[in-house]
Each structure stands twice: as C-alpha cells, then as structure tokens.
C-alpha cells in the first residue's frame, strides 16, 4: 500500500509524478496517458504547484490571481477551471448576476450536455454528495440537477470541498449553442440556489485571496483568445486609467447600485428621479426599463430588419448619441458605437428591454451588462459591500 500513499501524495504535483512507480511498473504519467487525462493534467498544472498550499501561510498572500477570458462574438466571456482529482476541465461563464457554480454531469443526456464537457463523479477520488437537488432558471435557459462536493481550481487557486451543481437536464437550445460548459456565479450567497456557498465566498473563508474583492476586465476588441480577465483578490492597475468611482451595494443579493440619472448626448433623458442598476457580466446587452425603451430607440434611429432584429443604418454609427450613467455624482459615458454590433454587414443594437422592477421596488431597473463593462473596469468589493468603476485601459 505504500506505493499508493506516495502516488496519492504526488498526483497533484507535476514535478514529482514522473518519479513515482506504481503497481506493475506503471508510472502516474503512463496511467494518465492510458486514461486520456495526461494532456489536461499537464495543462492544469502549468502554474506554480505551491499555490494550493498558500492558505497555510496567509502572511505571504500578497498577490492576486487572474484568469484570462475568452470571448465569443462579444456576447459571452468565459474562462477555464477544473473540478475533481485528477482534474476534469471545463469552460465556465463568470457571472456576477448569479451565485451557483454548476457544470454538466455525465448523467445528463440532453443535447446541451452531450455537446459539452461533462463531469464524471466516479473518476474523482475527492468527490462526495449529499443527494440534494436544485433547479435554476436564467433569462435565457434553465436546468435541474444535484449537488456535489469536490476540489475546484480557478486561476490556480485550489478550493477544497466546493459545492457545485451537476446538471441532469438542460432543456432548450441556449446552453447547446453556448461556448461554455457551465456557469461560475459571483453574486452574493443569498442568491444561491440550494444555499450552496459560492466559489468566491469559499476563497475568502479559507484565506485563499489576499483581499476580499475581485475585479473584471472585458476587452473592447476581444478575440477568441483575448477577451479580458478576472482577478481574484485584487485589482490589476494596468487595465484601467484614472480614478476609481465607488458606489455602495444596495442589497446583498445582486451587485445592485443606485444611479442618479442617465444622459443622452449629455442631456437628461432617463432615470430622471433616480433608478437602480444591476452590474451583470452574464448579460450581453445593455438592458433598459421597458417604459423608457421607445424613447431611446427613437433617439437612436432604430428600425427592424426583415428578421425582426433591432438595427440602425451602419452609416450613422459614428453619429449615434452617447449614454452617460451618473453614479455617485460621477459621469460615466459610453459612446454610441459601444452599443452597436456589426455582423455580416448589418449594425445590430445591443440594447434590450426589461419589465422587471428593482429588488428594492424603488424606481426603475437598468442592467449594465457587457456593453457597459467593456468600457469600464469593474471592482466587486465584498469586504466593504461596494462596487468600483474606472475607465478601461
């Protein structure tokens, strides 16, 4: 049994696994190659292997950890993570509008699951479950499944015993077409289905991050491999310019803040009596209260094409009105080109409407999604329950 103990001790460290000889003369490298897991194992352990021990030495936790993001047609920003021992790899959408971590399970036979990476509990030596079930509904899709517990690794940070969802049914087509396998929620615990503890809360609890905040940069001109980054435990000063504007969080569910007004070409137009804004990386568009949508579209010159899509004349994009969001008496402006997406010679308007009232029932609700967040570096400060914005570099 001694060889087994040594192997289990070393299997997490890429620099020692080649030294361990298992039963019948097979090395860990040979075992992983035969199981088709060697490539992902090496990919996952390119970072400093000592990162998983840093929770034992909080006095040395002075650096933040960043995960690069990929982008798909400016609509989804996702990055890599692993779950299990040995690690199973997934692409996940980093979503500030939800709180649960979930990935497809190997028990799910929905087309959306079979089209993506699926987690196999039997292949992880650290997996456990309490047979608890969940159901989650998003604006564009839903799923049901069960909860499990296992080691998760995000941005080189190992989180022990992380609770996560494993989908058993993903109806519809939204998740089928998605480039990501699952979702990693970054909102408050109160929003979590099944009272599951979110990933970042476990990072804070186990002292895996040097500061109780994270920050997000979405590239203005993303490519499939350069969409931005999520930084856990700090702020990347290279990714923004100027001063940071801070705003208190109104309710510890979503990243919800107050706005004093919204200007159109520097003139008061919307949110006249004040309103609220949800900061949501999981929403691709800028979402406007339905009561104000007609006026905004008229000012922009929106019309519908033969497919019913909201578009504008591409020749007018350079003259489209700017939108300015007043937050804590600071004017945060995005140009007209920021809410336009050019696809196949047409200029689509990346603005949609919502009938949803704010959680506090006070005023109207805007959702500042990726259209806004490409222009502003965003900081999510759990330690002080506030949000920060600075002009993206």
pLDDT tens-digit profile, the chain (393 residues): 322 222 323 323 333 323 222 333 334 444 444 455 444 434 433 444 444 334 444 333 336 899 999 987 667 899 999 999 999 999 999 999 999 999 999 999 999 999 999 999 999 999 999 999 999 988 778 899 999 999 999 999 999 999 999 999 999 888 998 999 999 999 999 999 999 999 999 999 999 999 999 999 999 876 656 899 999 999 999 999 999 999 999 999 999 999 999 999 999 999 999 999 999 999 999 999 999 999 999 999 999 999 999 999 999 999 999 999 999 999 999 999 999 999 889 999 999 998 888 776 677 999 999 999 999 999 999 999 999 999 999
Task: Encode pLDDT of 86-117 as tens digits.
Answer: 999 999 999 999 999 999 999 999 999 999 99
48 assigned to active site: no
Question: What pLDDT is stored for residue 173 in this prediction?
Answer: 87
Enumerate the CATH 2.40.70.10 domain ranges in the chain, comma separated. Answer: 64-232, 239-392
Question: What pLDDT is stored for residue 280 in this prediction?
Answer: 97
- Backbone phi, psi, residue 297, to 5°: -65, -35
State the CB neighbour count (10 A cutoff) for residue 313: 12
95 assigned to active site: yes
Collapsed DSSP state (helix, strand, coil) of residue 293 = helix
Task: Encode pLDDT of 190-210 as tens digits.
Answer: 999 999 999 999 999 999 999
Architecture of domain 239-392: Beta Barrel (2.40)
* Angle, vertex CA 274, rays to CA 269 and CA 278, nearest 5: 100
pTM: 0.83
Residue tagged active-site, from 95, 150, 201, 381: 95
Q: Which of 79, 103, 117, 101 is nearest to 184 (CA)?
A: 101
Residue tagged active-site, from 181, 280, 370, 381: 280
Paired with 354 in beta bridges are 289
State the CB neighbour count (10 A cutoff) for residue 103: 28
Collapsed DSSP state (helix, strand, coil) of residue 74 = coil
Question: What pLDDT is stored for residue 290 in this prediction?
Answer: 94
**CA-to-CA dists, residue 152 to 8, 82, 86, 232, 267, angstroms:** 17, 6, 11, 14, 48
Q: Which of 152, 203, 214 is nearest to 382 (CA)?
A: 214
* Angle, vertex CA 194, rays to CA 85 and CA 202, nearest 5: 50
Q: Which of 235, 231, 230, 233 is nearest to 246 (CA)?
A: 235
Contact 284, 370 (CB under 8 A): yes
Question: What pLDDT is stored for residue 49 in this prediction?
Answer: 44
The helix (H) or strand (E) run that includes residue 299 is helix 290-300
Question: What pLDDT is stored for residue 63 in this prediction?
Answer: 62
State the CB neighbour count (10 A cutoff) for residue 287: 25
CATH for 64-232, options being 3.40.470.10, 2.40.70.10, 3.50.30.30, 3.40.50.1700: 2.40.70.10
Q: 54: which DSSP letter?
A: G
Contact 3, 22 (CB under 8 A): yes
Give the sign of the dihedral formed by CA 350, CA 352, CA 357, CA 363. Answer: positive
């Amino acid at each position: 049994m001694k060889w087994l103990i040594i192997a289990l001790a070393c299997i997490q460290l890429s620099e020692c696994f080649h030294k361990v000889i298992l039963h019948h003369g097979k090395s860990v490298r040979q075992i992983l190659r035969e199981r088709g897991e060697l490539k992902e194992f090496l990919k996952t352990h390119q970072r400093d292997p000592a990162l998983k021990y840093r929770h034992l030495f909080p006095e040395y936790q002075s650096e933040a950890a960043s995960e690069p993001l990929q982008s798909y047609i400016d609509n989804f920003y996702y990055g890599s993570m692993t779950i299990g021992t040995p690690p199973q790899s997934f692409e996940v959408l980093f979503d500030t509008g939800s709180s649960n971590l979930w990935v497809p399970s190997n028990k799910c036979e929905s087309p959306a699951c079979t089209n993506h990476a699926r987690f196999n509990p039997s292949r992880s030596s650290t997996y456990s479950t309490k047979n608890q079930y969940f159901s989650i509904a998003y604006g564009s899709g839903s799923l049901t499944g069960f909860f499990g517990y296992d080691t998760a690794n995000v941005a080189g940070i190992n989180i022990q015993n992380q609770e996560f969802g494993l989908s058993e049914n993903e109806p519809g087509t939204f998740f089928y077409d998605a480039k990501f396998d699952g979702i990693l929620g970054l909102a408050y615990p109160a929003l979590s289905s099944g009272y599951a503890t979110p990933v970042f809360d476990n990072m804070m609890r186990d002292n895996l991050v040097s500061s109780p905040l994270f920050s997000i940069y979405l590239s203005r001109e993303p490519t499939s491999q350069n969409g931005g980054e999520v930084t856990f435990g700090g702020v990347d000063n290279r990714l923004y310019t100027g001063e940071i504007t801070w705003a208190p969080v109104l309710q510890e569910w979503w990243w919800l803040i107050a706005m004093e007004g919204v200007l159109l070409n520097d003139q008061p137009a919307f949110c006249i009596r004040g309103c609220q804004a949800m900061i949501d990386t999981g929403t691709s568009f800028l979402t406007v209260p339905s009561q104000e949508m007609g006026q905004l579209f008229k000012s922009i010159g929106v019309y519908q094409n033969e497919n019913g899509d909201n578009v504008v004349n591409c020749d007018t994009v350079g003259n489209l009105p700017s939108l300015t969001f007043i937050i804590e008496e600071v004017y945060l402006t995005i140009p007209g080109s920021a809410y336009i997406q050019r696809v196949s010679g047409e200029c689509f308007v990346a603005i949609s409407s919502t009938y949803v009232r704010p959680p506090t029932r006070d005023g109207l609700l805007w959702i500042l999604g990726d259209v806004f967040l490409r222009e502003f570096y965003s900081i999510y400060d759990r330690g002080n329950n506030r949000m920060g914005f600075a002009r993206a570099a």
